[in-house]
Amino acid sequence: MRITIIGAGFSGSVLATELARCAPSGVDLCLVGTPDGYGRGVAYGEARPEHLLNVRARELGATQDQPAEFARWLNLTRRAEESFLPRLVYGEYLYSRLQSAAQVSLAGFNQVAREAVAIDREGEAFRVTLADGSDFLTDKVVLAVGTLPPQRLQGVGPRLLVDPGYVAWPWQRNLRGEDALARVPNDARVLIIGTGLTMADTVVTLLRRGHQGPITALSRHGLLPHPHLPEPGPAIALPPTVLHALNSADVALLLRALRSLAPIVPDWRGLVDALRPYLQGYWKTLPDEQRGRFLRHLRSYWEIVRHRIAPSVHEELQALQAQGQLRIRAGRLLRASRGEAAVEVLVRDRGQAHASAEQYDVLVRATGLDTDIERTSHPLVGQLRDAGTISADPLGLGLRATAQFEALDRHGAPVRGLYCIGPLLRGQLWEITAVPELRVAARQLAQQLLRNGVAAKAYQPRAREPALRVAGAGG
């Protein structure tokens, strides 16, 4: 039996590591991912030294039964375990444990540093086509592609799209290995679309490179991520009123229960953290109407308290605001075009009837997480969608799937042997983008794949199929 995992970021590498450690001989594992960030993904492979993790080191072990494994891997002191380390270090940890598992695995383990561009059903198996035109057969496929490329900004004119004054993705690298922000002059007037985690990384990188020009960050609500406490707060237990609301399938009832509790808990962060073990189950009970209400009215507020940033990063952003170099605005970008001397934009601030015409030197898209498969430019996801092999969540939160991680086709039928893990399951689980939930899902899916494959026939390669190129150790 061959199991192929498409995507070598956190979800894919952790799932591959679980399988490599548990799979018996006779199982052939294949991990396929783009060369940049192989085994690390975009979040940890394309990060810069100044980009910090948003979680304390002691909580970031990649297995659910060893949450402190990352801290032990670094041999951190007790005090250092509470710190927020560079994301690049975490990427090295993920890659190291992947290679270690590959070296001792009883299963065959191929690591393919190429992009997968198509998956087609062929009998009871799947044919995976790679970007160089080669292909191979596999019995099972797991989509672990992470978040999708950010969508094109509404209102951006065609000339601006190909102009150096427009940065479509801050970490996009050119042939010399430079990311897009390296082209931004230090005195440039910068407009960033987005005020979340990607914006924070963008601002920090600009400052490390000596940027002195004004920076404006614009989003619909103009909300910054809240910080973690410098020292971790006490854990709290949810009272019966909140537990009852979690069983109600009513967003408004849960919100009222949380508001009544917030003034009496030591810190609101403890309340948010106490909710997390219940959120996947709660989301499953919500009808689409309730999910839609949450997304329209509460999502932006939930995101800033749930996905918090390191205290030092928050302090830096606050200092920039106090100095006047950074301005956070609530509003919408209506139009952006390449003018003769600058990027000309039309912005309407939140609550205002009229728009204002403004000029900037650089426009940066930093809109962050995207899981809308209907509008994505991702080649593989688009191919599967157009073929009807996968179907979109009705609220744009990824693809539809069963409780056993199997994808549903356009008719709502399970696609036997095609699985998904990671942010594309937000429609089913909501909380499936961070380490604690992903490592649990990886363990569950690994056990299911091996359990279902016990009676599967061994993979028989065709003579015309290319040998898989091994990337790194452990092939």
Instruction: Give residue-wise pLDDT tens across range 368-389.
Output: 789 999 999 999 999 999 999 9
* pLDDT on residue 462: 33
Compute the C-alpha angle 279/85/37, nearest 5°.
80
Please check the confidence at residue 454 and state whether its pLDDT lies above 80: no
Please check the confidence at residue 455 and state whether its pLDDT lies above 60: no
Average pLDDT over residues 82-86: 96
Domains of the chain: 2-149+371-452 (3.50.50.60), 158-226+308-365 (3.50.50.60), 240-306 (no CATH)
pTM of the entire predicted model: 0.91
Please check the confidence at residue 472 and state whether its pLDDT lies above 90: no
Summarize pLDDT for 273-285 with one digit per residue, the tens. Answer: 999 999 999 999 9
Taking phi over 0 as left and psi of -120 to 50 as alpha, with beta for the rest, 238 belongs to beta
Contacts of 269 (CB under 8 A, 6+ apart): 226, 228, 229, 233, 305, 308
Please check the confidence at residue 218 and state whether its pLDDT lies above 90: yes
3-state secondary structure the chain: CEEEEECCCHHHHHHHHHHHHHCCCCCEEEEECCCCCCCCHHHHHCCCCCCECCCCHHHCCCECCECCHHHHHCCCCCCHHHCCCEHHHHHHHHHHHHHHHHHHCCCEEEEECCCEEEEEEECCEEEEEECCCCEEEECEEEECCCCCCCCCCCCECHHHHCCCCEECCCCCECCCCCEHHHHCCCCCCEEEECCCHHHHHHHHHHHHCCCCCCEEEEECCCCCCCECCCCCCCCCCCCHHHHHHHCCCCHHHHHHHHHHHHHHCCCHHHHHHHHHHHHHHHHHHCCHHHHHHHHHHCHHHHHHHHCCECHHHHHHHHHHHHHCCEEEEEEEEEEEEECCCCEEEEEEECCCCCCEEEEECEEEECCCCCCCCCCCCCHHHHHHHHHCCCCECCCCCCECECCCCEEECCCCCEEEEEEECCHHHHHHHCCCCCHHHHHHHHHHHHHHHHHHCCCCCCCCCCCCCCCCCCCCCCC
* pLDDT on residue 474: 35
Residue 144 pLDDT class (50, 70, 90 cuts): very high
Please check the confidence at residue 469 and state whether its pLDDT lies above 60: no
* pLDDT on residue 152: 85
* pLDDT on residue 278: 96
Please check the confidence at residue 126 and state whether its pLDDT lies above 80: yes
Please check the confidence at residue 402 and state whether its pLDDT lies above 90: yes
* Dist. CA 215–CA 164, nearest whole Å: 17
* pLDDT on residue 453: 63
Average pLDDT over residues 13-17: 97
* pLDDT on residue 206: 97
Average pLDDT over residues 164-193: 89
Share of residues in the chain with pLDDT > 70 (%): 95
Please check the confidence at residue 452 and state whether its pLDDT lies above 80: no
